[in-house]
Structure 1
Amino acid sequence: MSETYALNETALLLVDVLNDFLDEKGKLAGRIGPMLGKTDLIAHLGRLVAGARAAGVKIFYVPHGLHEHSFDDVKHVHPRWQWAMENRLFWKGEWGADFFPPLAPVDGDVIISRHRTFDSFVNTDMLAKLKEHSIQKVVLAGLTSHTCVESAGRHALEEGFHVTFLKDAVAEFTEEAHHAAINLSYPTFGHNVTTIDEFLAAVERVPA
């Protein structure tokens, strides 16, 4: 039997749809831009968000956010985050940390507190807000395939949620990392690995 998604228990987790990733002036545009083009991610995410809103799916925005004291309590800061701090990546209060306007939240969407590393459940209100909204199934999309999207899915699985990855709604810095996520990690940690269209069709078949 194919998977279905009841509106009263499903949330779309839209991870890190921020200017530093998606705008051509963003600090990561030069690094991830080629893969954004190859995957046509912005157009796909736009279609996903529009379809999810039309269907009545709850959308949870899951943003990165750093500031000068983000790692004061961390003795061994990973080199990626050292670079991020030096370059003020996703810096709170700055344009790069703002939501990319074409995909920005609207009234009724849920915004999770900002995560500092890959796992958006750690040191955030993610779990509390999922429980507050009686969510049982999480559907993951955004950036990046092999880091924050995958990490959110792994943690959600450990917390007992049903996990779905949307393989045409993610992108990564390299093809190798992207394909590793989609072909190896997602089938390992997800209950379902599917497409935007298949997910939206499954939502439409289930009443709220």
Structure 2
Amino acid sequence: MSHNWLEKTMRIVTANELQHWLNNGKIVEKDGRGPKVIQLGDGNFLKIFRSKRPLLARWRPEAKRFARNAQALQKLGIATPELLECLWIEPAKGVSACLYHPLAGKSLESLAKQQSEQLDALLPDFAAYIRHLHQNGIYFRSLHLGNVLSLPSGGFGLIDFLDLRLKRGPLGKSLVKRNFAHLQNHLSRRRIDSFPLEKLLACYEQASS
């Protein structure tokens, strides 16, 4: 896959183009500041980044950080969406975006809510996948069920990795513990009480040994 889009100058999306996307697309995720993820009419997705530090984001746009993280993951053989373009939505406010082709699969969160038996069968593989990420020095707070996909061909993929941090070696015990604490907090916030976290932790320990 070519990564020339990382070196390209980010083009500015016109107001008309953005409005066309909003009119013809489907808002998948939004917050109080506006749409965050839009499924476009052609099946691609637009992910919008509104930084809490807009002055910094003007020089270091979060869209480029997202794209670089995708590249780093792909180099490690970890499936991610296919990035197509990095864009400016509002350059003066540091609002950037990534246009990408989605990764096919079903989120583990949807399996937890709709097909818990299938998710239960995937737990050993999911634990081994998390172990693989940790052994490759990958740490990020957004490692939770909504951001991990079960792929049709088997295995898993990641779809939200803006806050990824790539360490030089495997994660230490404290970061591993912190990563699972973030997962536990996500389960609590999303009220996914049925997820067998203790079993996942046991499978992780087994994979570690």
Higher relative contact order (CA 8 A, sep 6+): 1
Q: Which TM-score tier does this pair reach, normalised by the shorter chain?
A: under 0.3
- Give the structure with the higher percent strand: 2
TM-score, reference length from structure 1:
0.28
Q: Compare CA radii of gyration and give the structure with the larger one.
A: 2
TM-score, reference length from structure 2:
0.27
